[in-house]
Amino acid sequence: MLTARASGVLVVVLILEIPLATNTAAAEENVSCPPGRPACVIVADAPGSPGTTANSPDEADTAKSSCRIPDTLIGAGKPMACTSEFGVWSNTDGCYYELLDPQPPASDPVWEGHYPDGAIYHWVCFGYQGTGGGTGWRATPPTGLAGPMVSPAQLAQRAVELLRLEGPEIGMAPQAGRTGLVGLPVWLWTAARPRTWGPVSATASVPGVSVTATGRAQRVVWSMGDGHSVTCTGPGTPYREALGNRRSPDCGYVYTQPSVTEPGGRYRVTATTTWRVTWAGGGDSGVITLTRSSSTTAEIGELQVLIS
């Protein structure tokens, strides 16, 4: 594809694998060809050699286009395709913009210290002297890329989904498959992993707005299946055989009745974690409370004393 104007010639060349029969040294000074891009922008001071010409990016599509080069730039009023291989056109500054996907990591200097606000775009501009392309940060989406408005609260819900919070990873002694006894301590705990206890964070973004949510478990309520419950403000302490019949220091229970009358002869134990999720971004913030549950069973018997 080649575009040329008689005044201040602007040439946009799609580089395939065809060598350019031009003054290479002079052209290289005015070339914008970012790594990994399918196109380069070259601005020349004199017409190039004859070739196939067309109105960029596509003459047939641009004849009645509402997208045009702004009045303050070279080629003012020239119709442009509203979308092309370069991205989406902006009538405001005469550039095509494309949102980089995926976005660069937070450590990339291209963010200029603004992460996670705004977004990184690649652009190709027409009607300017000098190079017409680049990659960088913008606080808000360019005209044409804004799309439907999404509120920070809506993005927060998406960020919460990305947290993938889980119910407790139940630990219990006596463990499933073994029988406990009435009057002896039962230990309760959950594995303290990011998605079962926290903290865990995730970020949801649209062009120009990013919201980060962080989840932390606040407590676990253990419904023991016999009509009673235990509330623990921590994940609990895992049991070890060396502890014998000691009580848990922070999360435990003692059954007073056997489970023989329950379905399957076992109590149904359900652990429910309450999560506090804080979020911030887009000039707003908030708190969301969620619960996640897991279940297991406990078989409890009675100590039989034989008298002979």
CB half-sphere exposure, 85, CA atoms < 13 A: 13
Mind listing the pLDDT tens digit for each residue in 175-190? 767 888 999 999 999 9
Instruction: Give 23-30 contacts, CB < 8 A, sequence gap 24+.
Output: 30/130, 30/131
User: Which range, of 196-210, 237-251, 280-294, averages the lowest pLDDT?
Assistant: 196-210
Q: Is the pLDDT of residue 235 over 60?
A: yes
> In this predicted model, what pLDDT tens digit does every residue of 62-113 receive, in sequence order?
556 678 888 888 888 888 888 778 888 888 888 888 888 778 888 899 999 9
Q: Is a pLDDT exceeding 60 seen at residue 3? A: no
152-301 CATH fold: Immunoglobulin-like (2.60.40)
Q: Is the pLDDT of residue 278 over 90?
A: yes
| Segment 290-302 mean pLDDT | 94
Q: Kindly report the number of other CB atoms within 10 A of residue 42's CB atom.
A: 25
Token pair belonging to 108:
């990339």
Residues 273/168, Cβ–Cβ less than 8 Å: yes
Smallest Cα–Cα separation from 85: which of 94, 74, 96, 95?
96
pLDDT of 30 > 70? The answer is no
Model confidence at 14: pLDDT above 60: no
DSSP 8-state class, residue 242: G
Q: Say whether 161 sits in a helix, a strand or coil.
A: helix
CA separation for the pair 169, 177 (Å, rounded): 17
Range name among 127-131, 137-141, 167-171, 185-189 with the lowest pLDDT average: 127-131
Tokens of 191: 């594995």
DSSP 243: G
Of the candidates 117, 209, 194, the one whose C-alpha atom is nearest the C-alpha of residue 158 is: 209
Domain with CATH 2.60.40.10 in the chain: 152-301
Residue type, 145: L
**CA separation for the pair 300, 46 (Å, rounded):** 92
Nearest-angstrom CA–CA distance, 136 and 131: 15
Q: Computed over its alpha carbons, how large is the radius of gyration of the chain?
A: 33
- Ranges 131-140, 206-215, 284-293, most confident: 284-293
- pLDDT beyond 90 at 307: no
